[in-house]
Structure 1
Amino acid sequence: MTYATVMVSLALDQSNEARLQVAGELAERFEAAIIGVAAAQFAPPLYFTDGAEAQGLIEEGEASVRRRLAELEAQFRTAMKNRGGRAEWRSAMDFPARFILAQARCADIVVSGGQSPAFSDAFALASPKDLVMQAGRPLLVVPDRVDWLDLRSVLVAWKDTPEARRAVTDALPMLRKAGDVTVVEIPEQGDDRSAVMAGVTDVAAWLARHGITASARVLDSARNDTAAAQLEKVAGDVGAGLIVAGAYGHSRFRELILGGVTQHLVTQSSRCVLLSH
């Protein structure tokens, strides 16, 4: 398994430098084609007008969006000019999530920026939470502060769920290029620790059969700290440049309302995260 096509999602109102850098590196490492995508809709103002004034306002807003999409294409092509692989650009006047989800059919992995905890504008931004739920492809979330794809140490956040199993499989190409791989699970209250350890050990053994040496760890059950805080601590301890995790192993509603690991991973700003659902 490899990545033959990398897709990078650009945003109108966010910095795109980090995701372009990481997507370009990813395409180079795997000799993959790269596709840049962006979309936006003109968001009408929250006041009403009519006639020629309304039409003029709409035309001016749409022209501004088209100019911004053209600027993003130029930024993408400049960033990929010296990468050596095949680069393609796709854009549209459309809702970003809808357009990017449709284009994801031709990619092996989608690269996106992170997301601040604040409300996002669906007219201008494809939320990574929406992309990972519906793309049917792994999503590599790149925070703005990251400037390279650091695979010296990779942390697999394991939970025995279909989402986590899919994430580890989707990450195999990157895990093969990693320096150190750590598989860690944080048991929930009431879990049998020996059973949890057996599961994590199974994952490490499965990776070994794919030529990947990984260590297995089980943390203490989350009590004072949240699972997200514990995961952040162990990621810092092992110097992880990438976290691999299943997205929304619990219901998305529960995580969005109460918070959770996925919510944390798409808003933290220190390392890349590969998510699958």
Structure 2
Amino acid sequence: MTYATLMVHLQPGRSNVAVLAWARRLASSFNAAVVGIAATQPMPMAVGDGLMAADLYELSRDEMTGEVGQAEAEFRRALAPTVTNLAWRSASLMTSLPDYMAREMRCADLLLTCADASDYFDNMRRVDTTDLIMRAGRPVLLVPALAETPRMDRMMIGWKDTRETRRAVVDALPLLRMAAHVTLAEVRGEATRAEGDSRLADVAVWLARHGVDAECVSSPPGGDDATVLFALGQDRGIDITVAGAYGHSRLREWALGGVTRDLLVSGQRCSLVSH
């Protein structure tokens, strides 16, 4: 298994330095093609009887068309010198941006997207991360804005004995094989130490058969899982966390291997997640 084609999502109107740096590094490591993608959703504006204000809509659409063009130029400047197989896709839609992105993911093995706290507020330019991960059908690498220097030597698997986590570990194998050190970590919850150790031993044997040596760490609960795993990642200088993604559509929230979104997008640590 390898990543033959990467898709990198650029955010119009913002700097995409970090996610492009990671795309460049991974494309070089895997000799991969790279598809850039951007999407916007001009916001209809209503007046009086509810009709759209056409002039305001056109102004919004033209502004975002320019920003998408700038994003494409940024994409090509960053990658053209080192990546031979580049492609670009973009759309301005009145329908769901995550649906569009998920459909386009049919051509790629891994999606790279920005992950920063500021993306909560701009519905015209941002793609809802929750929906995207739930619908993509591919692993997603979340790249914080501060992670401008790609590092992938130290990786941590946030293990939970679930379908989503098993899927994420399979999807992460190409990266895990490249890492100098892999930590396989679980917060045990109500399980005994022996039960936790037995689970991790099974996973470690499976990883070894796929060329990945992992150090097992079974941690007792200490508050919430997020705090425990985040502290472990800090102590070990983890570059990338691998975890399963669990969606809660009613609450419009998500958690990854017990680690909340805010913890995962902070600092310079990337996260590879699958649903």
TM-score, structure 2 normalization: 0.91
Indicate the residue corresponding to 2:81 in structure 1.
82
Aligned residue in 2 for 1:102: 103
**Mapped partners of 2:81, 2:272: distance in 1:** 26
1:161 aligns with: 162
Q: Give the equivalent residue in structure 1 for 2:268.
A: 270
Change (3 A) 1:40 1:187: same
Is the partner of 2:89 in helix, strand or coil? Answer: strand
Distance in 2 between the 1:118 and 1:21 partners?
19
Relative to structure 1, the CA distance from residue 108 to residue 262 in structure 2 (aligned partners, 3 Å threshold; closer, same or farther) is farther
Would you tell me which structure has more strand in proportion to its own residues? 2
Alignment partners' CA distance in 2, 1:126 and 1:207: 33
Opposite residue 4 of structure 1, the aligned amino acid is A
In structure 1, what is the Cα distance between the partners aligned to 2:239 and 2:141?
12
8 Å CA contact retained: 2:119, 2:126: no
Q: Deviations over 1:237-269 (max 9, x none)?
A: 111111001111x74557839995142355323
Alignment of 1:218-237 (within 5 A): 218-222=218-222, 225-237=223-235
- 1:130-180 Cα distance to aligned partner (Å, 9 max, x none): 211110000000000001321111011001000110010000000110000
Identity %: 36
Kindly provide the amino acid, as one letter, of the partner of residue 80 in structure 1: L
Match of 1:261 in 2: 259
Displacement, 1:50?
8.5
- Give the gaps of 5 or more residues in structure 2: none
Aligned residue in 2 for 1:182:
183
The count of corresponding residues between Structure 1 and Structure 2 is: 272
AA of the residue aligned to 2:265? T
SS in 2 for 1:43: coil
1:31-180 alignment runs, 5 A limit: 31-45=31-45, 47-48=47-48, 54-94=53-93, 95-116=96-117, 119-180=120-181
CA distance in 2, matches of 1:237, 1:108: 31
Amino acid corresponding to residue 207 of structure 1 in structure 2: L
Q: Structure 1: any 5+ residue segments left out of the alignment?
A: none
Instruction: For 2:181, give the aligned amino acid.
Output: D
Superposed CA deviations along residues 33-78 of structure 1, whole A, max 9, x for unmatched, are: 0000001011134655899x93222222211111111111111010
Question: Residues 30 and 275 of structure 1: is their aligned pair in 2 closer, same or farther, counting only changes over 3 Å?
Answer: same
Q: Distance in 2 between matches of 1:237 and 1:174?
A: 21
Distance in structure 2 (CA, Å) of the matches to 1:206 and 1:212: 9
Change in Cα spacing, 1:93 to 1:117, as seen in structure 2 (3 Å) is: closer
- The answer to whether the 8 Å contact 2:204/2:216 transfers is yes
* SS of structure 2 residue aligned to 1:247: strand
* C-alpha contact 1:265 1:273 (8 A) present in aligned 2: no
- 2:243 maps to which residue? 245
Distance in 2 (alpha carbons) for counterparts of 1:265 and 1:275:
14
State the match for 2:25 in structure 1: 25
How far, CA to CA, are the matches of 2:107 and 2:73 in structure 1?
22
Q: Is the 8 A contact 2:46 2:53 kept in 1?
A: no
- Paired with 2:160 and 2:260, the residues of 1 have a C-alpha distance of 12
What amino acid does structure 1 have at the position aligned with 2:61? E
What is the TM-score of this pair, normalised by structure 1?
0.90
| Matched-pair contact (CA < 8 Å) for 1:151–1:241 | yes
What is the letter of the counterpart of residue 56 of structure 1?
D
User: Could you tell me how far 1:202 is from its partner in structure 2?
Assistant: 1.1
Structure 1 stretches of 4+ moved >4 Å: 46-51, 250-255, 257-260
Give the whole-Å Cα distance in 2 for the aligned partners of 1:257 and 1:273.
Answer: 14
CA-atom RMSD in angstroms: 2.4
Deviations 1:58-99 (A, max 9, x none): 222211111111111111010111123301000011243222
Given that residues 155 and 181 in structure 2 are in contact (C-alpha distance below 8 angstroms), is that contact kept between their aligned partners in structure 1?
Answer: yes
Q: Give the direction of change, closer, same or farther, for the CA distance of 1:106–1:117 in structure 2 (3 Å limit).
A: same
